[in-house]
Structure 1
Amino acid sequence: MKLRHIKVAALLLAVTFVTACSKDDEDLNKPILGLGGDSWTHSELDKWLYQNFTVPYNIEVKYRWDGSELALDRTLVPAKEEKIQPLMETMKHAWIDVYEAEAGETFVKRFVPKQYVLVGSPQYNASGTITLGEAEGGRKVTLYRVNQFEKNKREIVQPILKTIQHEFAHILHQTVMYPPEYEQITPMGYTSSWNNISVTNARESGYISSYAQASPNEDFVEMIAIMLTQGKTDYEAIIAGISNPEAVAALRKKEEIVVTYFKQVWNIDFYKLQARAELALEDIAPKPVIPLHTQFGFGNIYSTMMINPAGQSDDFLEKYNTADANLKTAGGRYIEYIRLIAEDNNRVTYQIRYINPSSGSPFVANFIYNMSVDNKGVASFTIAEAPAGNANTYKTHLAPLTNYIELNTFKIEWKDGKPVLGATEQYGKFTATGNPSSFFFGQLGN
Structure 2
Amino acid sequence: MSYVDEVMQRVVEKNPSEKEFHQAVKEVLDSLRVVIEKNEEKYRKDALLERITEPERVISFRIPWVDDKGQVQVNRGFRVQFNSAIGPYKGGLRLHPSVNQGIIKFLGFEQIFKNSLTGLPIGGGKGGSDFDPKGKSDREIMAFCQSFMTELHKYIGADTDVPAGDIGVGGREIGYLYGQYKRLTGLYEGVLTGKGLTYGGSLARTEATGYGLVYMLDEMLKANGKAIAGSTVVISGSGNVAIYATQKAQQLGAKVVALSDSNGYVYDKDGIDLDLVREIKEVRRGRIKEYVEARPGAVYTEGKGIWTVPCDIALPCATQNELGLEDAKALKANGCYAVAEGANMPSTREATDFFQENGMLFMPGKAANAGGVATSALEMSQNSQRLSWSFEEVDAKLHEIMIGIFKKVDEASKRYGLEGNYVAGANIAGFEKVVEAMNAQGVV
Normalised by the length of structure 2, the TM-score is 0.23
User: Which structure has greater helix proportion?
Assistant: 2
Higher CA-based Rg: 1
Higher RCO (C-alpha under 8 Å, 6+ residues apart): 2
